[in-house]
Amino acid sequence: MRKMTAIVVVPGEFVLLQHFIRKQPLATSSSVVPQSVESEPSPDLSSQLLSILSQSNWQNHPSLRKLIPSISPYNVTSVFASPSLNPQIALHFFYYLAQRPRFKHTVQTHSLLLNILVSNKFVDVAQKTRISMIKASDSIDDMRFVLDFLRKMNKADGDFQFKLNLKSYNTLLMSLARFLLIDEMKSVYVEMLDDMVWPNIYTFNTMANVYCKLGNVVEAGLYVSKIFQVGLNPDSHTYTSLILGHCTSKDVNSARKVFEYMARKGCQRNAVSYTNIIHGLCEAGLVDEAIELSRKMGEEDCHPTVRTYTVIICALCKMGRKEEAMIFFKEMREKGCEPNVHTYTVLIDSTCKDKRLDEARRMLDGMSEKGLTPTVVTYNALIDGYCKQGMLEAAREILQLMESHNCSLNARTYNELICGFGRKKDVHRAMALLNKMLEYKLSPDLVTYNTLIQGQCRVGHLDSAYRLLDLMNGNGLVPDERTYSILIDSLCKQKRIDEAHVLFDSLKEKGIKPNAIMFTALVDGYCKVGKTGNAHLLFERMLTEDCLPNSYTYNALIDGMCKERKVQEASFIVEKMMKMGVKPVVHTYTILINQMLKEGDFDRAQRMFNQMVSLGCKPDLKTYTAFLHAYCSIGKLKEAEDVMAKMIAEGVVPDSLTYTLLINAYGCLGLLCSAFDVLKHMFDTSCEPSQHTYAFLIKHLLKEQGMKGTIDPVDPLLVSNASHVDTADVWKTMDFELALELFGKMIAHGCLPNSDTYNQIIKGICKVGRLEVAQRLFIHMKEKGFSPNEETYNSFLHCCCKLGMYAEAVKAVDNMMLQGQLPHLESLKVLVSGLYDDGNKENAKAVFCTLLNMGYNDDEVAWKILIEGLLKKGLAHFCSELLDIMEKRGCRIQSRTYEMLIKGLDGT
């Protein structure tokens, strides 16, 4: 059995110990940036410091200035631990370092100094150091260290006791409140009473306020009552806390009463009091009342703060009142209240949701001009906006901006990017981000894995999706409804219905109740393969299991009936769905209209169209395209043109399929000039012609040359778009000269061929293995100043690999790498295996080493190249060789993947 060297292990993984010689320590930090382990204090540096500090004029020692940049809190700890250090010198050295830029004492250095001061009875300065130590806490761990240390010091026996006084107790309670350490606060409060240190108004307010932050007004009230018990009166801070508490617990009416009671008691209401109640009103949806209240602040000689304005702006944005939000934004600046990072973040997020991304980017730039540093939330809003619009280059630019500004990325940043790449079917870049998350010690969550699984399913890589499911389980994440919905839907789309049904039936034992998405996917899947009986049985089961069908479920059944030409039965289902309280949608009517048109029943289809309009269902692109296609298919171009004019008048924008249908119809009637006029209109309206638009034009050019076309009429509406129309015979017939003729015709009609023109045609040619023609078009494209895109290069690479032309494939990989493009691992799998098959071991290894530098996810490389490629071809020895390379490079292969590799290498 092969022994393996250590690999990088991801937190939470089960490690196959029997296969490792040694094991790396697991990383547990949740920090976003890779953490360098703090080194132990340098003995030489600590000795030098002690030597310098032993001299009378140490502040002016020539060596000290040089040492300052190298001094860390660890060095200070070492120095303070020295018994020979003079306490006065220790104190002055502490203050001296505190004044240095970018140096901050830790709670540990404070504790050592405090020990020195207390043991030497420097009481006054020890009191100040204790307060400074409490305030220096930057984390819960710091706070707990301070609490433990002060408790021990408070209880210490000896000649001199250094007990906590009222100020120290109050500062300690305030600091604990900052981290919401409620239990610790209660304990400290009791210890305070035990020490006979009597609380003051500040103590009670601190205790009440922390409970109010959590919305626990009852507990807060106990401490407010103590104020009265000891003969004190609640102050503005007390009432303001209670307002906050009631608002946090969603009881805005009680908050109003406290707010009004303050005024009756003559207690000054300040900007915080107003802002708390305004926030509560906004959260309750009473924005107009909140705005009115903000206008009255001046009556009590207080004015809206940046938080007041931001709360109102945020509420207006949530309600869709964006223009009013911008008016408030303008007003606050005019009144000298400068927006802060949160204000800008709210507006940027709202603007991104409205798809006004240029405006959002200008706001981000405006923040920088004002010296404001955007937070991760600000950047995430932009990344999410760009990803949802498919603008991934812009999203990556924001990512680079974050990194250049040392803004720590969080899991949401990566999840949004992963989702964006997944939508674009750029699955390798999505998977590469998983590597980045692990590298930066961020734990991928359920959202991460579900998004990645969906991305793999979108490109048809179900094996990879299942492997991700396995990794989820291995990392302690439990797949949820969404996980299984994605897998079942994908299996159905690939017509693996039986497999989908088995997975569906297994959910009960997993404790997951099937939802409407799963049922609908199966119903649709059975209908698509002609098993409508099974679909109806599932539909009935859905009802018995109290899972209500939605319009998608009914539409799947209606579509199934229509495919069997049972329009009447489909209409009955529409009636049934309406009785069940499910309103038919535009897609429901379009399915019926489409089938009626296919059967030539134009009058009935038109009546159905009129009915949907009368019921308030606005026809969409697919509805109009159904009519347009029907007219085109019988040569009624005038009617087709009328449909096009009507849809445009109704504000429905034609897509590539719509135009392509017209182009084909004109071509079929020999009206090639009119077909090119439609192409010109596509160019003018920025509608990119598809690969199939060009295929139909080429088909008709061939006909014009007297060559009979071999393409049978195909119904594009049987599929989601024209990209699925089989035009292989066109590409098989086409040669380079015909491409030049197409370009000439395009130029003559004012359609200058662009990079997309070349890309679409090259992809079509590569699909049928016409490599020589593709190569000539590549050269011609570059001569015209255009560069092939990543998808085109991948088509070319796939073609080379399919034809076994590995030398050309290697060149294509090199070219892609130079341009920062990612070759598909499916092609690289064929290439590496093919090179090994041909005995070209060195080139195979070189290609593999190249791809390891291109940022792929290491597990995905192992799945595709090693497991699916080499092991499946029986090339275990070469697989082991490449695995060695991955290990030496420290690749992050997860233990589940390693387990698969072990089994494959052992032949089990």
The string of pLDDT tens digits covering residues 346-373 is 999 999 999 999 999 999 999 988 899 9
Spatial separation of the C-alpha atoms in residues 874 and 314, rounded to whole Å: 61
Phi, psi for 477 (deg, rounded to 5): -100, 135
Task: Let me know whether 777 and 816 are in one domain.
Answer: no
Average pLDDT over residues 27-55: 56
Check whether 764 has a pLDDT greater than 70: yes
Task: Let me know whether 150 and 95 are in one domain.
Answer: yes
Spatial separation of the C-alpha atoms in residues 459 and 480, rounded to whole Å: 22
Domain boundary residue, one of 171, 198, 225 = 198
| Residue 825 in domain | yes
Q: Which two tokens stand for residue 125?
A: 């300065």
Spatial separation of the C-alpha atoms in residues 41 and 64, rounded to whole Å: 17
| Residue 711 in domain | no
The answer to whether residues 844 and 878 touch, using CB atoms and an 8 Å cutoff, is: yes
Residue 726: its pLDDT value, please? 60
| Residue 292 in domain | no
Spatial separation of the C-alpha atoms in residues 46 and 378, rounded to whole Å: 43
Q: Tokens 């171009």, residue?
A: 637
Spatial separation of the C-alpha atoms in residues 418 and 85, rounded to whole Å: 56
Spatial separation of the C-alpha atoms in residues 69 and 56, rounded to whole Å: 22
Domain that holds residue 156: 71-198
pLDDT per residue as tens digits for the range 600-611: 999 999 999 999
Spatial separation of the C-alpha atoms in residues 514 and 519, rounded to whole Å: 7
Question: In angstroms, what CA-CA distances link 643 with 54, 100, 608, 719?
Answer: 94, 75, 16, 21
Check whether 27 has a pLDDT greater than 60: no
Domain boundary residue, one of 178, 198, 218 = 198
| Residue 393 in domain | no
- Identify the bridge partners of residue 20 per DSSP, sorted by sequence position: 4
Spatial separation of the C-alpha atoms in residues 195 and 153, rounded to whole Å: 13
Residue 280: its pLDDT value, please? 95
The set of residues, in sequence order, having a beta carbon less than 8 Å from that of 527 and lying 6+ positions away, is 535, 556, 557, 559, 560, 563
Residue 69: its pLDDT value, please? 84
Residue 783: its pLDDT value, please? 94
Task: Let me know whether 98 and 182 are in one domain.
Answer: yes
Task: Say whether 100 sits in a helix, a strand or coil.
Answer: coil
Residue 31: its pLDDT value, please? 30
Question: In angstroms, what CA-CA distances link 541 with 240, 508, 536, 545, 548?
Answer: 56, 14, 9, 6, 10
Long-range contacts of 568-571 (CB under 8 A, 24+ apart): 570/595
Task: Let me know whether 850 and 753 are in one domain.
Answer: no
Task: Let me know whether 769 and 837 are in one domain.
Answer: no
Q: Which residues of 371-390 are buried (b: 16+ CB within 10 A; e: fewer)?
A: ebebbbbbbbbbbbbbbbee
Task: Let me know whether 741 and 833 are in one domain.
Answer: no
The single-letter DSSP state of residue 4 is: B
pLDDT per residue as tens digits for the range 242-257: 999 999 999 999 999 9
Check whether 740 has a pLDDT greater than 90: yes
Task: Let me know whether 659 and 766 are in one domain.
Answer: yes
Task: Let me know whether 680 and 771 are in one domain.
Answer: yes
Spatial separation of the C-alpha atoms in residues 527 and 537, rounded to whole Å: 12
Average pLDDT over residues 806-820: 93
Spatial separation of the C-alpha atoms in residues 423 and 451, rounded to whole Å: 9
Counting residues of the chain whose pLDDT is more than 90, the rounded percentage is: 78
Name the least confident of 80-89, 276-285, 839-848: 80-89
- The overall average pLDDT reported for the chain is 89
Check whether 677 has a pLDDT greater than 90: yes
Helices (H), 531-636: 532-544, 551-563, 567-579, 586-598, 602-614, 621-633
| Residue 462 in domain | no
Question: What is the C-alpha radius of gyration for the chain, rounded to an integer number of angstroms?
Answer: 35
The set of residues, in sequence order, having a beta carbon less than 8 Å from that of 360 and lying 6+ positions away, is 348, 351, 352, 381, 382, 385
Residue 293: its pLDDT value, please? 94
Task: Let me know whether 87 and 159 are in one domain.
Answer: yes
Task: Let me know whether 685 and 771 are in one domain.
Answer: yes
Spatial separation of the C-alpha atoms in residues 75 and 60, rounded to whole Å: 20
Domain boundary residue, one of 198, 229, 263 = 198
Question: What total number of domains does the chain contain?
Answer: 3
The answer to whether residues 605 and 593 touch, using CB atoms and an 8 Å cutoff, is: yes
The single-letter DSSP state of residue 14 is: P
Task: Let me know whether 769 and 849 are in one domain.
Answer: no
Spatial separation of the C-alpha atoms in residues 644 and 788, rounded to whole Å: 33
Check whether 500 has a pLDDT greater than 70: yes
Spatial separation of the C-alpha atoms in residues 523 and 507, rounded to whole Å: 17
pLDDT per residue as tens digits for the range 152-190: 998 876 656 789 999 999 999 999 999 999 999 999 999
Spatial separation of the C-alpha atoms in residues 695 and 8, rounded to whole Å: 49
The H or E element containing residue 869 is none
Residue 158: its pLDDT value, please? 60
| Residue 773 in domain | yes
Residue 908: its pLDDT value, please? 61
Residue 441: its pLDDT value, please? 87
| Residue 263 in domain | no
Question: What are the DSSP calls for 121-184, one per residue?
Answer: T-HHHHHHHHHHHHHT--SHHHHHHHHHHHHHHHH--SSS-----HHHHHHHHHHHHHTT-HHH
Spatial separation of the C-alpha atoms in residues 322 and 385, rounded to whole Å: 17
| Residue 37 in domain | no
Q: Tokens 């949401």, residue?
A: 412
Can you count the helices (H) and strands (E) in the chain?
49, 0
Residue 2: its pLDDT value, please? 52
Task: Let me know whether 134 and 189 are in one domain.
Answer: yes
The answer to whether residues 484 and 503 touch, using CB atoms and an 8 Å cutoff, is: yes
Q: Which two tokens stand for residue 172?
A: 């300690």
Average pLDDT over residues 787-802: 95
First to last CA, the chain: 11
The set of residues, in sequence order, having a beta carbon less than 8 Å from that of 682 and lying 6+ positions away, is 656, 659, 688, 689, 693
The set of residues, in sequence order, having a beta carbon less than 8 Å from that of 273 and lying 6+ positions away, is 236, 239, 240, 243, 259, 262
Check whether 37 has a pLDDT greater than 90: no
The set of residues, in sequence order, having a beta carbon less than 8 Å from that of 275 and lying 6+ positions away, is 304, 305, 307, 308, 311
Residue 160: its pLDDT value, please? 62
pLDDT per residue as tens digits for the range 291-308: 999 999 998 889 999 999
Does pTM top 0.85 for this prediction?
A: no
Spatial separation of the C-alpha atoms in residues 895 and 899, rounded to whole Å: 6
Check whether 723 has a pLDDT greater than 60: no
